[in-house]
Amino acid sequence: MNRIKNLQDLFKRYRRPGDMVFALTFFLFSLFLLVNIPDQVVWVKRTKLFAQPAFWPTIAIVLMVTFSLFHLIGSLVSERIPGRLQEVLYWLRSIEFALWFMAYVAVVPLLGYLLSTILFCGLLSFRMGYRSFRWMAASTLFAVAVVILFKAFLQVKLPAGLIYEGLPDGIRSFMMTYL
């Protein structure tokens, strides 16, 4: 019990480097939404306040602005924790993986689920430093297993690849249904 002293400890969270940047960004985003309220929601005539379509977005945005303002003030008056720039760079580094993900999304309708998944897993594993034959085999095996589990077994809805059109009839319908 030496580290957890009271009930609050289990709930309490502490600030981390870069908190000011996040607090400021969120506050500005909330302000942007606040400014846009008049254009983006409608106050309908002859309707009670609580049934207005604009009622809840307005409440939510006003709360966002209020809470994020206090959060920002909290960050401003607290001692600065070193490492802000590194932290922001860390956040920006994740954009690379978001792009990998979107590339995968773009390729699936063209190459089909099976081929795109094998390619995605293989290339991303290679990028992450798993370059030996063993890891390449593991990533291919994983990709094939995922495709079989979700497409063939669970029958989730995924589009057939454009390149499947070029396949002979029998194989084409099999590929479109199962892989």
Minimum distance from residue 172 beta carbon to other proteins (Å): 20
Residue 178 interacting with other proteins (CB under 8 A):
no
Of residues 24, 31, 111, 124, which one binds other proteins by CB under 8 A? 124
- Between residues 41 and 176, which has the closer beta carbon with respect to other proteins? 41
Residue 77 interacting with other proteins (CB under 8 A):
no
Q: Determine contact, residues 30/68, Cβ cutoff 8 Å.
A: yes
CA distance 61 to 79: 28
Of residues 84, 104, 144, 178, which one binds other proteins by CB under 8 A? 104
Residue 95 interacting with other proteins (CB under 8 A):
yes
What residue spans of 5-132 are helical by DSSP H? 7-11, 19-40, 55-77, 84-111, 113-127
Of residues 7, 77, 82, 133, which one binds other proteins by CB under 8 A? 7
Residue 174 interacting with other proteins (CB under 8 A):
no
Question: What's the 3-state SS for 98-109?
Answer: HHHHHHHHHHHH
**Residue of 119, 150, 148 lying closest to 136 (CA atoms):** 119
- Between residues 11 and 133, which has the closer beta carbon with respect to other proteins? 11
Of residues 112, 120, 160, 164, which one binds other proteins by CB under 8 A? 120
Q: Which two tokens stand for residue 12?
A: 């309490």
CA distance 5 to 103: 48
Q: Provide the mask over 8-47, with x wherever binding to other proteins is found by CB under 8 A and - wherever it is not.
A: xxxxxxxxx-xx--xx--x---x--x--x---xxx-x--x
Of residues 28, 35, 74, 141, which one binds other proteins by CB under 8 A? 74
Q: Determine contact, residues 142/169, Cβ cutoff 8 Å.
A: no
The helix (H) or strand (E) run that includes residue 131 is none
Minimum distance from residue 160 beta carbon to other proteins (Å): 11
Minimum distance from residue 47 beta carbon to other proteins (Å): 7
State the number of CA atoms in the 13 A half-sphere of 106 facing the CB.
Answer: 6
